[in-house]
């Protein structure tokens, strides 16, 4: 009976899609980037078609609920978390129904299962992301750490800081990570080294030492470590130092492994995002301009992307929430550029203020697809047809207190805060560094 009811609902939605261009246009905003299409079709089959319909329904039912709460004066930061849980439950239900790979991990908070999520940035989906990270690491090393095999340099922009550390194969941190995989402060590095060893045996990559790129964000006066980038280098010199030849190897041959933000810190990020989310819902066209709304949305999704709260499905959940904010403000849903995946843009960009500037300037969509281009103050389109009872969020489990000590935290000799340069592609910032790093100078980011 349940299957027949679902079949009828599916047929109704298909008919609606055929007869309503507006529904079809909104549904198309959930399409995969063109370069991903063959791989995703093979990996997920037709499950994404079902997910697109469910995701669009999540947007409209989510907005309807927010409107009712707004009328009651009950919009709070707590609603943000409840809505995320509802979207996550829907994403999990869809994955289980379509028997997607790792279906049981979709929409499951990493903190509930103590899941450490690593992503290897290889393959058609991640090539460009890995290249950007490798180039940034190589730029910093080339500018400040040539002739060494152990050093430190960082870039500061606004509330963000990106720190690059070179660790030789004999560095005590590396030795400790190898010998003690259960040590909290080195287990992530141990996992990365294990992955690199596997690739070394399979793909014959060469490793003399490791490169760690750590993203930091200051929230309410306290600095938190977020996403970590791991890579490696190979030295052609007897003393294992890094020179121009080694820099070229990093750019062309090194593999990048991404470790997501620790779950306990992800919750701090989301609490910060909830405050901005409320501001976005309270945005008033008579008082604020469109750029301000975009800035709010850019900050929300950057923090959601850096948090990666769920073991699987974080990108889709963040995209649904992004669309909910726009539809709540009566904007018509628009598509991103064909090759843009926002969560990857966030994970490769350690500077929140730079990402927000790029988002506001429209780097991620074509001119005719600006998310604030079309606005109409009417009832929600198709809401009555798409309405579905929203599942209650699962009861939150108590997370044991686990203080996170950054592995590579050091006090820089100087700290220079640089404003965002209004350019879509590059910016110039002044790094700070250890005393061993001579003459910090201007660095140009890729």
pLDDT at 182: 62
Distance CA 318, CA 343 (A): 8
Six-digit token pair at 85? Answer: 């849980």
Find the mean pLDDT for residues 315-338. Answer: 91
* Nearest-angstrom CA–CA distance, 442 and 387: 54
Contact partners, residue 305, CB within 8 Å, separation at least 6: 314, 315, 318, 342, 343, 346, 347
**Residue 119: what pLDDT?**
67
**Residues 254-275 pLDDT 10s:** 888 888 898 889 999 999 999 9
Has residue 383 got a pLDDT over 90?
no
Query: DSSP 3-state assignment of 139?
Result: helix
pLDDT of the residue at 25? 75
Residue pLDDT, tens place only, 363-374? 999 888 888 888
Which of residues 21 and 329 earns the better pLDDT score?
Answer: 329
DSSP 3-state of 366 = coil
To the question of domain 2-114+264-386 being in CATH 1.10.3290.20, the answer is yes
pLDDT at 10: 57
Lowest mean pLDDT among 16-20, 129-133, 187-191: 16-20
440 or 332, greater pLDDT: 332
pLDDT value at 304 more than 80: yes
Classify 59 as helix, strand or coil.
helix
Question: Over 70: is that where the pLDDT of 12 sits?
Answer: no
Q: Which class for 297: exposed (0-12), middle (13-18), buried (19 or more C-beta within 10 A)? A: buried
The most confident of 14-23, 254-263, 404-413, by mean pLDDT: 254-263
Q: How far apart are CA 234 and CA 199, in angstroms?
A: 14
**Cα torsion 372, 377, 383, 389: sign:** positive
Dihedral sign from CA coordinates of 232, 236, 240, 245: negative
Q: Which of 121, 401, 363 is nearest to 263 (CA)?
A: 401
pTM exceeds 0.85 for this model: no
The pLDDT of residue 419 is: 40
Q: pLDDT tens across 32-86, in order?
A: 555 444 555 555 555 667 778 888 889 999 999 999 999 999 999 999 999 999 9
Give the residue extent of every domain in the chain.
2-114+264-386, 118-259+411-444
Tokens at 253, concatenated: 């041959």
Average pLDDT over residues 178-192: 68
Q: Binning pLDDT at 50, 70 and 90, where does residue 192 land?
A: confident
The two structure tokens encoding residue 227 = 């996403």
Task: Give the gyration radius of the chain's Cα atoms.
Answer: 23
- Percentage, residues of the chain above pLDDT 90: 36
Q: Does residue 248 surpass a pLDDT of 90?
A: yes
The yes-or-no verdict on residue 289 having pLDDT over 80 is yes
Tokens found for residue 406: 């950054």
Per-residue model confidence (pLDDT) at position 433: 34
d(CA 80, CA 277): 7
For all residues of the chain together, what is the average pLDDT?
76
Cα→Cα distances 303→90, 241, 413, Å: 21, 37, 28
Dist CA 274 CA 277 (whole Å) = 5
pLDDT value of residue 195: 77
Per-residue model confidence as pLDDT tens digits over 208-246: 889 999 999 999 999 999 999 999 999 998 888 899 999
Greater confidence, 183 or 174? 174
Structure-model confidence comparison of residues 412 and 233, the more confident one: 233
Residue from 13, 51, 81 nearest 271 by CA: 81
């Amino acid at each position: 009976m349940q299957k027949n009811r679902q079949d009828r609902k599916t047929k109704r939605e298909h008919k609606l899609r055929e007869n309503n261009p507006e529904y079809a246009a909104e549904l198309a905003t959930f399409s995969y980037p063109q370069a991903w299409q063959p791989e995703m079709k093979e990996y997920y089959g037709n499950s994404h078609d079902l997910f697109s319909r469910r995701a669009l329904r999540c947007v409209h039912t989510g907005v309807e609920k927010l409107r009712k709460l707004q009328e009651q004066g009950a919009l709070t930061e707590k609603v943000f978390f409840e809505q995320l849980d509802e979207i996550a439950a829907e994403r999990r239900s869809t994955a289980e129904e379509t028997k997607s790979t790792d279906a049981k991990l979709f929409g499951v908070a990493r903190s509930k299962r103590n899941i450490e999520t690593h992503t290897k940035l290889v393959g058609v989906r991640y090539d460009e992301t890995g290249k950007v990270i490798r180039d940034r690491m190589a730029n910093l090393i080339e500018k400040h750490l040539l002739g060494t095999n152990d050093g430190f340099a960082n870039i500061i922009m606004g509330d963000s800081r990106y720190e690059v550390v070179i660790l030789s194969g004999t560095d005590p941190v590396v030795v400790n990570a190898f010998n003690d995989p259960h040590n909290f402060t080195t287990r992530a590095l141990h996992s990365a080294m294990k992955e690199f060893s596997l690739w070394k045996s399979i793909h014959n990559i060469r490793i003399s030492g490791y490169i760690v790129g750590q993203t930091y964000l200051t929230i309410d006066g306290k600095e938190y470590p977020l996403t970590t980038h791991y890579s490696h280098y190979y030295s052609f010199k007897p003393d294992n130092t890094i020179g121009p030849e080694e820099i070229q190897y990093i750019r062309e041959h090194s593999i990048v492994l991404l470790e997501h933000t620790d779950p306990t810190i992800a919750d701090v990020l989301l609490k910060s995002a909830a405050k901005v989310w409320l501001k976005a819902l309270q945005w008033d066209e008579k008082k604020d301009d469109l750029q301000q709304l975009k800035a709010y949305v850019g900050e929300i999704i950057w923090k959601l992307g850096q948090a990666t709260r769920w073991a699987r499905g974080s990108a889709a959940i963040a995209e649904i929430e992004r669309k909910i904010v726009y539809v709540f403000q009566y904007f018509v849903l628009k598509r991103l550029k064909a090759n843009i995946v926002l969560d990857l843009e966030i994970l490769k960009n350690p500077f929140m203020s730079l990402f927000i500037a790029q988002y506001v300037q429209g780097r991620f969509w074509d001119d005719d697809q600006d998310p604030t281009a079309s606005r109409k103050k009417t009832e929600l389109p198709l809401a009555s047809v798409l309405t579905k009872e929203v599942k209650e969020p699962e009861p939150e489990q108590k997370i044991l207190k686990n203080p996170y000590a950054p592995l590579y935290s050091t006090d820089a000799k100087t700290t220079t805060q640089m404003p965002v340069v209004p350019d879509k592609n590059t910016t110039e910032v002044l790094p700070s560094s250890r005393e061993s790093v001579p003459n910090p100078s201007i660095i140009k980011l890729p």
